[in-house]
Amino acid sequence: MDAIRGALQGSRNVIRFNWHFYVFAGACACLLLLIREQVEPMVRSAIDIVLILTIASTFTSMAVSLYVYDLSDLYTLKWLDRITLEKVDTIVSITAGFDEFSTLLKRRFSSSTFVHLDIYDVERHTELSIRRARAAYPLPSDVRHVASTSLQLPDASMDVAFLLLSAHEIRNTEERHALFRELDRVLSPKGRVIVVEHLRDLANGLAYSIGALHFHSECTWTRSFDAASLCVEQELKITPFITTFVLRHNGTTS
């Protein structure tokens, strides 16, 4: 897809790919409105509280999505200015069925050799939103589809690996550990892995309520990095809801 994003494209896609959650919330609100007229005043007050929380949670998640995906610097890649990359001759973008960043990365690193790998596995990665996203935005024909446990790249061949809002689609712990071990293998001695994700934390919990359970906690990410002998060189926030981890080989000097 092109780097020029349409108006409100990010928040529209969130609703488009996750509409079942919004339909469910709307149905619950309608049901509560019907029930509240048939119950005692004390129960009605409790229903009113649940109703307010349901509506507030829905609109909060939509507002945060607008901020993160349409109004922040997430897609401008300006946050990369805060990261020092010693060498960017060869870079790899690793996606999981849906890609909004590779064209942007190609334009930013136009003089680099660019490799785009997609690790989506229809049998393992069963999230409904990703299936809808794949149908709406088919990946380019030059994308190489590989297993998350075997990236099919030579040892120490990549200077920078980008996993931008993609690695959380791997729900299985061992599979996720295997992916980062592969990244450690293909990373050049001075190379860096850049992981951008929502975290299962307070900010995202307040923003997305139970939807935040789809994200991994910082401890979960740290265990995956440790399992692959990768260490966090830098951690920065793009927004209060988006975290970037910059990883390097454990023991590599900056």
**Predicted TM-score of the model (pTM):** 0.88
**Rounded Cα–Cα distance for residues 16 and 183 (Å):** 32
Unique residue bearing structure tokens 């209060």? 240
pLDDT-based confidence at 41, cuts 50/70/90? Answer: confident
**Do 149 and 225 share a domain, yes or no?**
yes
Q: 45 is in which domain, residue-wise?
A: 9-71
Please determine, for residue 182, whether its predicted confidence score (pLDDT) is greater than 70: yes
pLDDT digits (tens, 9 = 90+) for 217-233: 999 999 999 999 999 99
Q: Which among 46, 71, 96 is the end of a domain?
A: 71
Q: Which among 31, 50, 71 is the end of a domain?
A: 71
Cα separation values, 82 from 4, 79, 238, 246, Å = 23, 6, 10, 11
**Do 150 and 217 share a domain, yes or no?**
yes
Q: Where are the alpha helices (DSSP H) in the chain?
A: 9-17, 19-36, 41-66, 102-108, 128-136, 173-186, 202-208, 218-227
The CA radius of gyration of the chain, in Å to the nearest whole number, is 20
**Do 218 and 241 share a domain, yes or no?**
yes
**Do 179 and 195 share a domain, yes or no?**
yes
- Identify whether 254 is part of a domain: no
Six-digit token string for 214: 């789809």
What's the confidence (pLDDT) of residue 4? 59
- Identify whether 137 is part of a domain: yes
What's the confidence (pLDDT) of residue 125? 73
pLDDT digits (tens, 9 = 90+) for 167-176: 999 999 999 9
**Do 66 and 87 share a domain, yes or no?**
no
**Rounded Cα–Cα distance for residues 166 and 131 (Å):** 14
What's the confidence (pLDDT) of residue 40? 87
